[in-house]
Amino acid sequence: MKRICMTGFDPVKSLGDETNPSYELIRSFPREFMGYEVLTFEVPTAFDRNRAAVSAIIEENRPDIFLGLGLSGSRFEITLENIGINFRDAGYMKDNDGQILHHQPIHADGADAYISPMPVSKVVARAQAEGIQMAESYYCGTYCCNQVLYNGLYHRAKRFPHMLAGFLHIPYFPEQVIGRKAAPSMPREKSLRALEILLEECVRQQQGAE
């Protein structure tokens, strides 16, 4: 059986969060989707442990589709990323291990950037047609989200050319922003439907290539 691997993050300590919607969204996702086995993983919001964890997930499971999910606490819409860059920089923000990195490559032997092979425009158009606030993004940041995306694309380029790899940013769930002024959020059901659309189109793209 073909395989989908999805990752979400643990709670971000510096934000004071108790849960992370990126993992909460996938933790109870069905174990089978359109004939693909589905495996989900919580990965650390910590640069070094995160890089090792994502690499191990891909190497050990050899997925046909690898999708990282992450929180974007400042975006009012779901965003599907186009590009991962070989650059990690935490700015002023510590990771969950208390580490602050500046101007470091993710993989020294990797390209400066990789473009996601996922059908980004098609997915966004379908989601918007269903009334879901979703957009393409050309900047995944330089924190752990971008590292997950780049790591997936790096392994695709180096070892698993058949694998689709990409990254989906989701906002907070409404219950997570109670008491936070002007914090963007989106109902869990909308984020879940956007995820389903993305996986549907990825499966169809792979089936069309066979």
Active site residues: 81, 145, 169
SS (H, E, C) the chain: CCEEEEEEECCCHHHCCCCCHHHHHHCCCCCEECCEEEEEEEECCCHHHHHHHHHHHHHHHCCCEEEEEEECCCCCCEEEECEEECCECCCCCCCCCCCCCCCECCCCCCCCEEECCCCHHHHHHHHHHCCCCEEEECCCCCCHHHHHHHHHHHHHHHCCCCCEEEEEEECECHHHCCCCCCCCECCHHHHHHHHHHHHHHHHHHHHHHC
